Structure formats: structure tokens, C-alpha cells
A = this chain, B = another copy of it.
Amino acid sequence: MDADSSSLQSRGTRKRRKMQRVTMMDVAKLAQVSPSTVSLYLRKPAAVSPAAGKEIARAISTLGYVPNLVAGGLAAASSKVVSIIVPSIRNAFFAETVSTLQSELAAEGLQVLLGHSEYGEDQEEALVRTALSWAPAAVVLTGLSHSAETLKLLQASGVPVVEMWELGGKPIDMAVGFSHPHVGASAARHLLSKDRRTLAFLGARMQEDHRAEKRASGFSETACTEDLVACEIINHPGAATVEAGSLLLNRALQQLPNLDGIACSNDLIALGALFECQRRGIVVPDGIAVVGFGDLDFSASCIPSLTTIRPSGDLIGREVARLILNSIQGQHPEGAARIIDTGHVLIERRST
């Protein structure tokens, strides 16, 4: 029999590898209070006496205690994590929203668990599944189209859900965004007001990006007035890049040699179109007027400066954060308050 190795333990029962992490217990011992008081202090400092609080704070700092949120999450049956799922984080739109959201949530002690679905519903479903494994405080999704299974999972979980960047359908729980058809309509109206009658909508990846596709259909519906000469929707199967913009403009000109106005589903595409016009010697806006979408970094500074529609990814991020924070604090919004329209603004510049 093992003579001394088990002397500390009453019997030779198996023992787990004891982490040598500083625990709340250690803090409690040093501060001469019970663990519950430490826990209470950490969650609502006002509820413990100033004397005890000071003692605990000292103990925490001398021991370098870092609370274990995993244990806390398990005990509280909900973790301080918000899971955000976007199609792509490389996309400047979503990068902006995620960035804002992260800042706002971090200020309230919430972490962001990030996933990107690459515009695939199956991928999204897998991400939602793992997200729920973390018992998150909330889940943020992009858009209103999700697989049936995703809906089921989320509904069953009872976790607050915010769908962002799209409005116009029935959200699972809450939604923050704007109407994409309306964006397309605004672009069309603007071009029509500039007396353009041979129009094209240049989009990328519209087989997967339903929101871009909705902007396109909103565009063509509104463009169809009596004296319209032509209106084409042209799609690039790959990602929305500057290069795609050049290609798309070329294709548009093949189909419509008299093209005089284009709307793009993304400012990157618009920039590519602008470059292609420059290469071909087409003057913007005299020859072709260009409307973009996104109001990205460069849109105000390019030549000519780009007329574009700003969706305000920033504002969306802030509103999503607000809804989440309210939900967590037990003030889950009801009825119409669960849907927030952040609208869009057309910013007229030199390209139209």
C-alpha cells in the first residue's frame, strides 16, 4: 500500500489534478470572509459592507485573482458571452458593426464570440449550434433568412436573438436594420431624378447574398417607369471587390451601350466601375452616373467623389447592443420595440 503519498487524503480514493489557480476560496480565506461574500462583492459591490469590501479588494489584488467565468457561467446557467454570426468579417460593413458592438458590450462586461458563415445557411446552423453550447447571453445573426433547424434551435434555447442588417420579415425575436428594397428604390429614384433612363444594377454574389439581391429588385421595380429605356441587373458570382466592379461595368456596357446610370450593391464595386470609366475615357457623371452603397472609407475622397447610400453599420451595432443589454437586464422589449429601423441616407456627391 502507498504509505505516505496518500497520507493527506483520508483514503486512497482517486484525486483530480488540482489546478493551482487562485480561486475565490483563496481570496475569501485571505480576506477573512466566506466565499459567498466574495462572490457577492464581485457581482454587487454595494451589497457588502465597505470594510469587508476593502479587505476583499486587497486580497484580490495581492493574490492576483482572476475570476473563472467558465465556472460562473455554469453556476449561473448563462455565460457573459454574446455570440455574433456575420457572413464575413472581411466585409467592411460587418467589420464596422462588429467593432462597435464589441466595444459597447465589453463596456458592460460581455465578451464577443465571433463566427462567420460565408453566406451559407448550413454553416450558419453549425455556428448557431456551437454558439448555443456556450449558453450565451444573446445571439446576434445577420439577416432574416435562416435554416429551419436554426430557427428551431434558437427558439428552443430561449436565448435572446437579434437579427441585424435587414428588415421586412418576421424576426425570430428582435431585429435592427433597414429595408434593402428601399435602398434600391432610393438609388433608382436618384438616378431617374438625374434624367438617366438606361440603367444597370451591378451586384456581386447575389445568389447567396439575399440582401444585395433585394436591393437589386427594389432598384429595378422602382426604375420601371414609363419612359425608362432599359434596366438590367448584372451579377458577379464572386466577392464584391473593386475588380468585380470593373468587370461588371464592362458587361453592363456590352449589354447596354447607351448606359447612363448605374447603382452598385457595394462601394467597392462602384469604385471599380469608376476606375473602369476612367480607363475607357467615360466621364462620370456626364457619361454615366454612379451610385454606390456603404459609404466606405474612400467614398468621399475618390475621383469623382461617390454618391452613395449610407446604411450606418455603426448605428446598427449600437442599437443591437442596447437591445441585448436591455434583454439581459430583464427588460426584454415587447411588440414594436423589438424592431428598430435604422434607415438609410443617400449622400449626394460628384458621381451623379
Q: In the assembly, what is the distance between CA of A262 and CA of B5, in Å?
A: 70
Chain B residues with CB under 8 Å of A293's CB are none
Say if the beta carbon of A74 comes within 8 Å of chain B: yes
Chain B residues with CB under 8 Å of A77's CB are 17, 19
Chain B residues with CB under 8 Å of A113's CB are 81, 111-114
Say if the beta carbon of A153 comes within 8 Å of chain B: yes
Copies, count = 2
Nearest chain B residue, comparing its CB with the CB of A19:
B77
Contact with B along A273-301 (1 / 0, CB 8 A): 00100110000000000000000011011
Nearest chain B residue, comparing its CB with the CB of A72:
B133
Nearest chain B residue, comparing its CB with the CB of A79:
B70
> Do the beta carbons of A243 and B116 come within 8 Å of each other?
no
**How many residues on A have C-beta within 8 angstroms of the other chain's C-beta atoms?**
60
Say if the beta carbon of A36 comes within 8 Å of chain B: no
A11 to chain B, nearest CB (A): 22
A83 to chain B, nearest CB (A): 9
CB-contacts of A79-118 with B (<8 A): 79, 81, 88-90, 92, 95-96, 98-99, 102-103, 106, 109, 111-116
> Do the beta carbons of B99 and A88 come within 8 Å of each other?
yes
Say if the beta carbon of A328 comes within 8 Å of chain B: no
Q: Which residue in B66, B89, B153, B302 is a CB contact (below 8 Å) of A242?
A: B302
> Do the beta carbons of A99 and B89 come within 8 Å of each other?
yes
Q: In the assembly, what is the distance between CA of A265 and CA of B182, in Å?
A: 39
A24 to chain B, nearest CB (A): 12
Nearest chain B residue, comparing its CB with the CB of A69:
B133
Say if the beta carbon of A340 comes within 8 Å of chain B: no
Q: A74-B70, A132-B66 are known contacts. Are A98 and B102 too (CB-CB below 8 A)?
A: no
Q: Which residue in B89, B102, B153 is a CB contact (below 8 Å) of A115?
A: B102
Chain B residues with CB under 8 Å of A67's CB are 133
> Do the beta carbons of A70 and B135 come within 8 Å of each other?
yes
A147 to chain B, nearest CB (A): 14
Say if the beta carbon of A246 comes within 8 Å of chain B: yes
A297 to chain B, nearest CB (A): 5
Contact with B along A10-32 (1 / 0, CB 8 A): 00000001010000000000000
Say if the beta carbon of A129 comes within 8 Å of chain B: yes
Chain B residues with CB under 8 Å of A19's CB are 77
> Do the beta carbons of A96 and B90 come within 8 Å of each other?
yes
A300 to chain B, nearest CB (A): 7
Chain A contact residues, CB within 8 Å of chain B: 17, 19, 64, 66-71, 73-74, 77, 79, 81, 88-90, 92, 95-96, 98-99, 102-103, 106, 109, 111-116, 127, 129-130, 132-135, 152-153, 156-157, 241-243, 245-246, 268, 271-272, 275, 278-279, 297-298, 300-303
Give 23 A-B contacts (CB < 8 Å), ordered by A residue.
A64-B156, A66-B129, A66-B132, A67-B133, A69-B134, A70-B73, A70-B79, A74-B74, A81-B113, A89-B89, A89-B99, A90-B96, A102-B115, A106-B115, A106-B127, A112-B114, A242-B302, A243-B297, A243-B300, A246-B301, A271-B298, A275-B302, A275-B303
